[in-house]
């Protein structure tokens, strides 16, 4: 008898197909006829069983089938097509702003294990949400940790912060706790932090994450007023619950950062209330300036940094609280950057591995970097010129 289980996969039997869930929210299907061609089978939540076959014979065949069908992976929340980035995918984790590892030349490394979000914020810089129509990515946990470790070492400092800052909501990554636990074991990682909208947090999840090694929660609570919070989230936002979660975190030996996005004309009146709440909880206030981005939503005009800091200064005087924050407030300092294998203007040729995040984008891999290429092509090779290299994030334009 062969009973096969696979890390991160769950199964459910349907009339003529088996639905496979990867990391809970991503799904694809296996045709029952293709499984029957391997052998008579049955399915449990976390296994496929072949009662009449030997494990080593069927495992290879099932792995091959999974590898083929996972190309049809979808996000079950949005229906968006999704690429699973794993150790054998050939997709490097450095080079892309949407997934993987981003090194901006400081003591902080950003990691992005998943894309997707259950909210639909009217100011979202990437246009995320349930109605979003873009390509999603989810990374195999072991691959992410394996690639992160040497980059932390490369930094050459003893206090690296690993910041989980997804294009979306990190709590949609079903292996988040395990990921935090793995990162906490990497030598020279001193802080693990994350940005979250808070809607999927429970007290139990907070405790679990803290036990795993999370040291800092940045929660983008925009207003204690239900109407304004809903308006800004573009959907129902559980204000009361998120406040309770903030109160729960505040009782722990973990840093709480309340990080509302300031939308002039929409939540001006809310900032003082949030600051008072932050004072009560002993939280750091990390008010964010709304910025316009090419793929983002734009409910209001962007304030210049001078205007933004002037408004914070006014509030600081009125509320007698520090609101202007700088990298030093989070102990973020310059630190060795990863080498850049490409420079602006380089002309290159690469094979398209998968779609990019937005329409007319494709991902190419060269010299251990992922490169997003703007092209109408969806497969084959593409010739392109590098037009962005900042922070080892590469963008190319097809020639």
Nearer to ligand SF4, 8 or 129 (CB): 129
**What is the C-alpha separation between 255 and 150, in angstroms, rounded?**
27
Which CB, 110 or 169, lies closer to ligand SF4? 169
Query: Is 263 exposed, middle or buried (CB count within 10 Å of its CB: 0-12, 13-18, 19+)?
Result: buried
Grouping H, G, I as helix, E, B as strand and the rest as coil, residue 355 is: strand
**In what helix (H) or strand (E) does residue 155 lie, and over which residues does it extend?**
helix 141-155
CB 95 within 8 A of CB 107: no
Sign of the torsion angle spanned by Cα atoms 341, 347, 349, 354: positive
- At 193, which helix (H) or strand (E)? strand 189-196
Rounded Cα gap, residues 270 and 302, in angstroms = 18
Is the Cβ of residue 172 or residue 192 nearer to ligand SF4 in the bound state?
A: 172
Contacting residues toward ligand SF4, per CB under 6 A: 117, 119-121, 124, 128-129, 168-169, 197
Shortest CA distance to 325 belongs to which of 335, 315, 334?
Answer: 315
Residue 112 beta carbon to ligand SF4: minimum distance, rounded to whole angstroms: 11
Q: Please compute, for residue 202, the number of CA atoms within 13 A of its CA located in the half-sphere on the CB side.
A: 3
CB of 120 to ligand SF4, least distance (A): 6
Smallest separation (angstroms) from ligand SF4 to the CB of 8: 23
Q: How far is the CB of 150 from ligand SF4 (least distance, A)?
A: 29
Closest separation in Å from C-beta 174 to ligand SF4: 17
Q: Which is nearer to ligand SF4, 13 or 291 (CB)?
A: 291
Nearer to ligand SF4, 93 or 259 (CB): 259
Nearer to ligand SF4, 105 or 165 (CB): 165
Q: Take residue 88 and report the two structure tokens written for it.
A: 């054998």
As measured in angstroms, the least distance from the Cβ of 292 to ligand SF4 is: 13
d(CA 215, CA 189): 11
């Amino acid at each position: 008898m062969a009973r096969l289980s696979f890390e991160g996969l769950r199964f459910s039997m349907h009339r003529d197909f088996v639905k496979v869930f990867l990391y809970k929210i991503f799904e694809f299907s296996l045709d029952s006829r293709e499984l029957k061609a391997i052998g008579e089978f049955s399915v449990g939540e976390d296994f496929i069983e072949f009662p009449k076959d030997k494990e080593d014979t069927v495992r290879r065949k099932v792995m091959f089938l999974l590898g083929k069908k996972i190309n049809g992976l979808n996000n079950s929340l949005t229906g968006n097509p999704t690429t699973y980035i794993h150790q054998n995918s050939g997709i490097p984790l450095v080079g892309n702003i949407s997934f993987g590892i981003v090194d901006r030349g400081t003591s902080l490394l950003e990691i992005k294990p998943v894309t997707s979000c259950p909210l639909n914020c009217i100011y979202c810089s990437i246009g995320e949400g349930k109605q979003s129509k873009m390509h999603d990515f989810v990374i195999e946990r072991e691959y992410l940790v394996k690639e992160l470790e040497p980059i932390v070492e490369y930094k050459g400092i003893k206090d690296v912060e690993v910041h989980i800052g997804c294009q979306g909501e990190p709590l949609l990554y079903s292996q988040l706790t395990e990921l935090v636990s793995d990162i906490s074991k990497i030598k020279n990682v001193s802080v693990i932090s994350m940005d979250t909208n808070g809607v999927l947090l429970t007290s139990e999840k907070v405790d679990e994450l803290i036990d795993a090694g999370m040291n800092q929660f940045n929660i983008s609570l925009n207003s204690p007023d239900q109407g304004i919070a809903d308006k800004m989230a573009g959907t129902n936002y559980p204000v009361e619950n998120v406040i309770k979660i903030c109160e729960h975190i505040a009782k722990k030996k973990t840093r709480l950062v309340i990080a509302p996005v300031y939308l002039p004309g929409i939540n001006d009146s809310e900032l003082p209330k949030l600051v008072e709440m932050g004072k009560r909880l002993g939280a750091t206030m990390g008010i964010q300036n709304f910025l316009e981005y090419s793929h983002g939503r734009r409910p209001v005009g962007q304030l210049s940094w001078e205007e933004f800091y002037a408004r914070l200064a006014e509030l600081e005087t009125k509320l007698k609280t520090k609101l202007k924050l700088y990298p030093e407030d989070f102990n973020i300092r310059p630190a060795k950057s990863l080498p850049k294998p490409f420079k602006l203007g380089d002309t290159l040729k690469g094979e398209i591995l998968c779609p990019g995040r937005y329409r007319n984008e494709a991902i190419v891999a060269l010299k251990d970097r992922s490169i997003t290429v703007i092209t109408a092509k969806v497969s084959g090779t593409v010739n392109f010129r590098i037009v962005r290299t900042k922070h080892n994030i590469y963008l190319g334009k097809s020639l």
